[in-house]
C-alpha cells in the first residue's frame, strides 16, 4: 500500500552528508553489503525488424534460472534486476515504463501477471526480483514523448535545441529535465504508475540506470538544481519503501552528492579515504570500472562482487547462455565470496602504497598474490581459497583453485570444533562428491583447474 502520509512536494532536495554521518539518511530496505546484486538481460530491440524484440531469456527460463542460481550459490541473499522487461526490450519505451514485453511470456499467458508471480515467488529462493529502469532518457515517438515535449520537460541547450544524452539501438535519447518534471508532478506520476503495475514495494528496491544530472541552460537550470531534483526523486522512492540503486556515484562537478541516499552502485570506484570512511553498509557495489578514475589496487584489498550479467547471455546478446554455471561460479568464488566475507569486518587502515589493508578481528589483505589472512591463517593465496560463507546458517566453506592444486592444506574454523571428517560438494556437474578426513583441524583437498565447491561437516 502506497505511503501517502508525506506529500511529495514536501520532500527535500537538500544535500545529505553521508560521508560525515557514515549512516544512511534512512535505513536501506536491503543490506547491499551482504547481498549478491546482479542484472540479467531479458530482451532487446531487434534492429532489423522495427517494433520487434530479440528475446534472450523468457519468463519460463527465468523461473528455472532463479532456482538454479540459488542452488549454485547456497542460498546467498540475491537481488536480480531485470533488464529489457518492458515494451520491445532494453532502452525502449522511455519516458514510459508501463508495459511488460509480451514476448517474454508463452502464447496465451498474461506477461504482466506472470512477472508479478515471478517477483512474488522468487523470495522462496533467497532472491528479490526487481526492475532495471531509466528515468533520464526520453525518445521521440514513445509513449509520453508528446506530453513531455508539450509541457517542456525535456532539457535544452542554450540554443533551445533538445539535449541529446546518447544514441542507443539506433535511436537518439534526450535528457529529461528532473527539476521541471518534478515540479510538474510527472516524476511522481511515473513512479506511482509503475508501482501500481508491479509489486515494487514488496521488492523494496529498483535500479535506475544512467541517472546523470545535466544542466538545462535554455531553462536556466544548473547541474546543482538537477542534483537537488534527483535527490527528491530518490527520497520519494524511499518514502514508498523502495531503495534506489544506480550505475555510478556520478560525482558531477566532483561532488559525491548521493552518499547516504543510494546504498549500492554498479561501478564502485573509490579512493583510499572513501573505503576507510564509508562502511560497506553505507555504500557497496560491484567490481571497479577500469575506465573510471580510482585506485585499482583497492578493489583487490576490499573485494568486489560479480555483476553476473555478462555470464547469462551469449556475447551477441541474442540468446540465453545455457552454460552459464561454470564461468559464473568462477567469478563468484574469486570475487563475491571474499567480498562478502570482508564486508563483515571494519576497515582499519591501508598502507600508503595500497599494498595491504588491515581489518578488525585480525584480518589482513594483500594485493600481491591476492592474500587474505585470518589470525595469520591464510584463507586466500594466488587463486587458491577456502573462505567461510558467512551468510549460511550452518557451517560452510567455499573452496576454489584457479590453476588446480593437489593436496592443498586448509585449516578449518575454530567454531567447527573437533570433527573427524567433512564433505566436499562440487559447485558444477562433472566432479564427484568427496568425504575428507580431518586431522588437527586441517584438511587436504585436490581440485582441478577452475574447480570450486563447498565444504561442510
Is 339 among the domain residues? no
Q: In CATH, what number is assigned to the domain containing residue 21? A: 3.20.20.80
CA angle 279, 281, 287 (to 5 degrees): 85
Residue 106 shares a structural domain with residue 217: yes
**Residue 309 CB contacts under 8 Å (≥ 6 apart), including other chains:** 38, 39, 40, 41, 83
- Please give the pLDDT value at position 411: 96
Residue 322 shares a structural domain with residue 441: no
- Give the CA dihedral 22, 28, 32, 35, nearest 10 degrees: 150
Is 338 among the domain residues? no
Among 392, 363, 281, smallest CA distance to 32 is for 281
Residue 361 shares a structural domain with residue 305: no
Is 340 among the domain residues? no
Last residue of a domain, one of 275, 303, 332: 332
Residue 32 shares a structural domain with residue 179: yes
Beta carbons of 207 and 131 less than 8 angstroms apart: yes
Among 143, 127, 246, smallest CA distance to 186 is for 143
d(CA 304, CA 279): 14
**Nine-digit cell at 380?**
586466500
Split into its structural domains, the chain has a count of 2
Residue 328 shares a structural domain with residue 351: no
Is 181 among the domain residues? yes
Residue 390 shares a structural domain with residue 273: no
- Please give the pLDDT value at position 295: 65
Is 342 among the domain residues? no
Residue 99 shares a structural domain with residue 230: yes
Last residue of a domain, one of 274, 305, 332: 332
d(CA 15, CA 172): 32
Last residue of a domain, one of 277, 309, 332: 332
- Please give the pLDDT value at position 46: 95
d(CA 212, CA 407): 51
Residue 283 shares a structural domain with residue 395: no
- Please give the pLDDT value at position 376: 86
Is 1 among the domain residues? no
- Please give the pLDDT value at position 299: 80
Residue 352 shares a structural domain with residue 326: no
- Mean pLDDT (10-residue bins), the chain, 457 residues: 77 94 96 98 95 96 98 98 98 98 97 98 99 98 97 98 95 98 98 98 98 98 98 98 95 86 93 93 81 68 91 95 96 97 97 92 95 94 97 98 96 95 88 90 96 97
- Domain with 384, as residue range(s), is 347-456
Residue 161 shares a structural domain with residue 285: yes
pTM of this structure? 0.96
Residue 311 shares a structural domain with residue 403: no
d(CA 174, CA 188): 20
Residue 88 shares a structural domain with residue 177: yes
Is 153 among the domain residues? yes
d(CA 80, CA 83): 9
Is 147 among the domain residues? yes
Q: Write down how long the chain is.
A: 457
Q: In CATH, what number is assigned to the domain containing residue 416? A: 2.60.40.1180
Amino acid at each position: 500500500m502506497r505511503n501517502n502520509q508525506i506529500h511529495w512536494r514536501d520532500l527535500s532536495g537538500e544535500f545529505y552528508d553521508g560521508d560525515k554521518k557514515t549512516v544512511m539518511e534512512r535505513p536501506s530496505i536491503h543490506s547491499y553489503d551482504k547481498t549478491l546484486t546482479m542484472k540479467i538481460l531479458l530482451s532487446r530491440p531487434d534492429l532489423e525488424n522495427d517494433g520487434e524484440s530479440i528475446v534472450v531469456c523468457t519468463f519460463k527460463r527465468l523461473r528455472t534460472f532463479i532456482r538454479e542460481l540459488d542452488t549454485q550459490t547456497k542460498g546467498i541473499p540475491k537481488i536480480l534486476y531485470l533488464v529489457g522487461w518492458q515494451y520491445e526490450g532494453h532502452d525502449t519505451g522511455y519516458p514510459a515504463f508501463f508495459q511488460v514485453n509480451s514476448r517474454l511470456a508463452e502464447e496465451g499467458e498474461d506477461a504482466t501477471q506472470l512477472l508479478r508471480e515471478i517477483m512474488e515467488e522468487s523470495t522462496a529462493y533467497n532472491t528479490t526480483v526487481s526492475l532495471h529502469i531509466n528515468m533520464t532518457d526520453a525518445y521521440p515517438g514513445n509513449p509520453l514523448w508528446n506530453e513531455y515535449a508539450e509541457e517542456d520537460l525535456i532539457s535544452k541547450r542554450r540554443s533551445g535545441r533538445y539535449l541529446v544524452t546518447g544514441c542507443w539501438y539506433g535511436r537518439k535519447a534526450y535528457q529529461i529535465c528532473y527539476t521541471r518534471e518534478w515540479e510538474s508532478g510527472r516524476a511522481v506520476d511515473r513512479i506511482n504508475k509503475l508501482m501500481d503495475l508491479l509489486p515494487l514495494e514488496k521488492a523494496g528496491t529498483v535500479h535506475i540506470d544512467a541517472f546523470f544530472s545535466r544542466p538545462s541552460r535554455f531553462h536556466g537550470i544548473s547541474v546543482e538544481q538537477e542534483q537537488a531534483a534527483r535527490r527528491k526523486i530518490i527520497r520519494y522512492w524511499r518514502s514508498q519503501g523502495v531503495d534506489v540503486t544506480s550505475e555510478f556515484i556520478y560525482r558531477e562537478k566532483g561532488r559525491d552528492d548521493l552518499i547516504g541516499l543510494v546504498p549500492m552502485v554498479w561501478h564502485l570506484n573509490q579512493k583510499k579515504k572513501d573505503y576507510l570512511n564509508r562502511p560497506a553498509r553505507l555504500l557497496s557495489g560491484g567490481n571497479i570500472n577500469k575506465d573510471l578514475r580510482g585506485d585499482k589496487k583497492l578493489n583487490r584489498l576490499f573485494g568486489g562482487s560479480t555483476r553476473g550479467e555478462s555470464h547469462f547471455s551469449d556475447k551477441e546478446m541474442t540468446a540465453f547462455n545455457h552454460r552459464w554455471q561454470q564461468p559464473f561460479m568462477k567469478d563468484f568464488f574469486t570475487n563475491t565470496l571474499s567480498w562478502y566475507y570482508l564486508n563483515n569486518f571494519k576497515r582499519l587502515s591501508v598502507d600508503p602504497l595500497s599494498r595491504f589493508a588491515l581489518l578488525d578481528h585480525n584480518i589482513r589483505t594483500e594485493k600481491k598474490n591476492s592474500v587474505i589472512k585470518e589470525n595469520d591463517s591464510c584463507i586466500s593465496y594466488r587463486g587458491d581459497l577456502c573462505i567461510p560463507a558467512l551468510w549460511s546458517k550452518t557451517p560452510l566453506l567455499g573452496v576454489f583453485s584457479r590453476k588446480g592444486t593437489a593436496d592443498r592444506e586448509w585449516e578449518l574454523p575454530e567454531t567447527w570444533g573437533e570433527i573427524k571428517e567433512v564433505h566436499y560438494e562440487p559447485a558444477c556437474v562433472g566432479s564427484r562428491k568427496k568425504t575428507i578426513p580431518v586431522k588437527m583441524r586441517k584438511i587436504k583437498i585436490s581440485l582441478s583447474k577452475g574447480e570450486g565447491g563447498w565444504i561442510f561437516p
